[in-house]
Amino acid sequence: MAMSHLFLTAFVLVLLTLSEGVPGKPKKVKCKDKKFAACYKKDLYCPATCPRDCFVNCSSCQAVCTPPPPPPPPPPPRPRRVRCKDKNYRKTCNQELFCPAACPKTCVVDCAACRPVCSLPPVYSPPPVVVTPSSPPPPVVSPTPPPSLPPVSPSPPPPPMVVSPSPPPTLPPVSPSPAPPPLVVDPSTPPPSPSWPPVTPNPPPSLPPVTPSPPPDSSEAAGGKRVRCRNKLYPTCNHQEHGCPAACPSSCEVDCVTCSPVCNCNMPGAVCQDPRFIGADGITFYFHGKKDRDFCIVSDTNLHINAHFIGKRNENMGRDFTWVQSLGILFENHQILIGAKKTATWHDTINRLELSYDGQYISLAEQVGEKWVSNSSHGVTVTRSRDTNAVVIEVEGNFHIKASVVPITEKDSKIHKYGITDEDCFAHLDLGFKFYSLSDRVNGVLGQTYAGDYVSRVKMGVDMPVLGGQREFATSSLFSTDCAVARFKGIQLSSSNDFGYTNLNCVSRLDGPGVVCKG
């Protein structure tokens, strides 16, 4: 009996010893952060060192005894890119901007300051003007001006004061609002006739407040030209009338795709501002060239166009300010010259445009719609689009050119630091090209953008992408076809024809030192 009791005691001691040596069952834990999809709600177990008191490190997806460090703060949202959408600020604010940190996704552009802001400043509107009469008599308001009664002077009495006994003269109708002006009688002269009924002035009525009407559209206020879309492929816009923008009140077209007016200088093919080209692909680039040199801008088998650049040296930039002064156009065996004459003081009413065809001066009466037609070649016309300084040149089946002469204004010179003096306002050409029969191998500064395999060479993403190639496009004279990219096969006339070119001195205005636009 004693032995069995001793054996039982020893067995109990062994069980107690074993139970104390075996660790407890580890606790099951899970990651509860949905940002860690691979670890979210995955079953994990506490390590042996802390079987019942552990934490989950969701980034490493492990159970640990010490709490993991807090996750880093999320990166700030990427700022949104914005642009000024007001067409009136295209020249001063035409760049990509980024929203500030305070509103990285909801900012707008303050076009006047050309910077992104979280909200535009409120536009001040003056209180309505209330018009009240200061003292009687009130002003006479009538749909038609009533006959006023003149003061009676000693001599002679006014003719309209003749009074017959019957019927008495009819006074102008007195409306309940404004009273007619009282009769003014000189004290030294009796009234003209006792048959006039006495005029008792009514008390001045109170006039309602006059609320100013909203200001008119900027283009209409400036008397801008009205233009329409004339493309049946855009029925919702076709024949809709629009006013030209304030920046170009007399030279715009309707972009039927967006159904909005666009300045000619902003159309594909434009050449403006020291010259800025907009190619047929819509990409903007600059080609500065050199002053007093000629460059090939379009060259194809039956059309070759050279431009004469003039300019002013800019010592700070190490290059010339340049503009297009004149064009030499060759087609078949004919030549056309169009240029702007050197001008000191600009007047819109004085014609400064010079034209010649095969060496013969073209004379046009200074009246819009006047047309010159060539006798030696079919389908060649020159038509005035304004009384002075603007024409349309067309060669049927080949090209259509809008040309106008414009100056650089004093304001333009100050903004761009051109340094223009009173001796020369640098009158220059603004041009608009439309081509009818270019081949896929056309070349030239502008012409290459119409080629079938053209890929732009300019560096994108910079404020002023510049196209090089002065040697490639340079030519020896205005009517030469010896530039490196020339393709013209037409029959050239004698190079002895000067066409008065030396008398021309083209220059540009501020927003368009030479323009080439494609319709």
Each residue's pLDDT, cut to its tens digit, for the chain (519 residues) gives 667 777 777 777 766 655 555 556 888 899 988 888 888 888 888 988 888 888 888 888 988 888 887 766 667 677 888 888 888 887 778 888 888 877 888 888 888 788 888 876 555 444 454 444 445 555 544 444 544 444 444 444 444 444 344 444 444 444 444 444 444 434 444 444 444 444 455 555 555 454 444 444 444 444 578 889 988 888 999 999 999 998 888 778 888 888 999 888 888 777 776 787 888 888 888 888 889 999 999 999 999 999 999 888 877 777 888 889 999 999 999 999 999 999 999 999 999 999 999 999 999 999 999 999 999 888 999 999 899 999 999 999 999 988 888 888 888 888 888 888 888 888 888 888 889 999 999 999 999 999 999 988 877 777 677 877 788 999 999 999 999 999 999 754 443 333 333 333 333 332 332 333 333
Domain residue limits, the chain: 27-68, 218-263, 267-503
Residue whose C-alpha is closest to residue 255's, from 266, 247, 246: 266
Side chain identity at residue 283, one-letter code: I
Helix (H, G, I), strand (E, B) or coil at 502: helix
Tokens of 414: 């100050």
When computed from its CA atoms, the radius of gyration of the chain, rounded to whole angstroms, is 42
Q: Which helix (H) or strand (E) covers residue 19, if one does? A: helix 2-21
- Residue 256: its pLDDT value, please? 87
- Residue 284: its pLDDT value, please? 84
Q: How far is CA 134 from the centre of its chain?
A: 47
In angstroms, rounded to a whole number, what is the distance separating the alpha carbons of residues 251 and 262?
Answer: 9
In angstroms, rounded to a whole number, what is the distance separating the alpha carbons of residues 31 and 449?
Answer: 60
Helix (H, G, I), strand (E, B) or coil at 88: helix
Tokens of 107: 């900012």
- Number of residues in the chain: 519
How would you list the strands of the sheet with 428-435, edge to edge?
Answer: 371-373, 380-384, 390-395, 399-406, 428-435
Any bridge partners for residue 373, and if so which? 381
In angstroms, rounded to a whole number, what is the distance separating the alpha carbons of residues 284 and 276?
Answer: 7
- Which CA distances in Å does 445 have to 271, 293, 301, 305, 432? 10, 14, 16, 10, 15
List Cβ neighbours of 502 (8 Å cut-off, separation of 6 or more). none
Q: What is the pTM of this model?
A: 0.53
In angstroms, rounded to a whole number, what is the distance separating the alpha carbons of residues 444 and 504?
Answer: 23
- Residue 480: its pLDDT value, please? 96
List Cβ neighbours of 350 (8 Å cut-off, separation of 6 or more). 388
DSSP strand pairing (241-243 vs 226-228): antiparallel
Tokens of 466: 């510049």
In angstroms, rounded to a whole number, what is the distance separating the alpha carbons of residues 185 and 158?
Answer: 12
For the CA atoms of 422, 425, 426, 430, what is the dihedral angle to 10 degrees?
Answer: 170
Tokens of 484: 């490196």
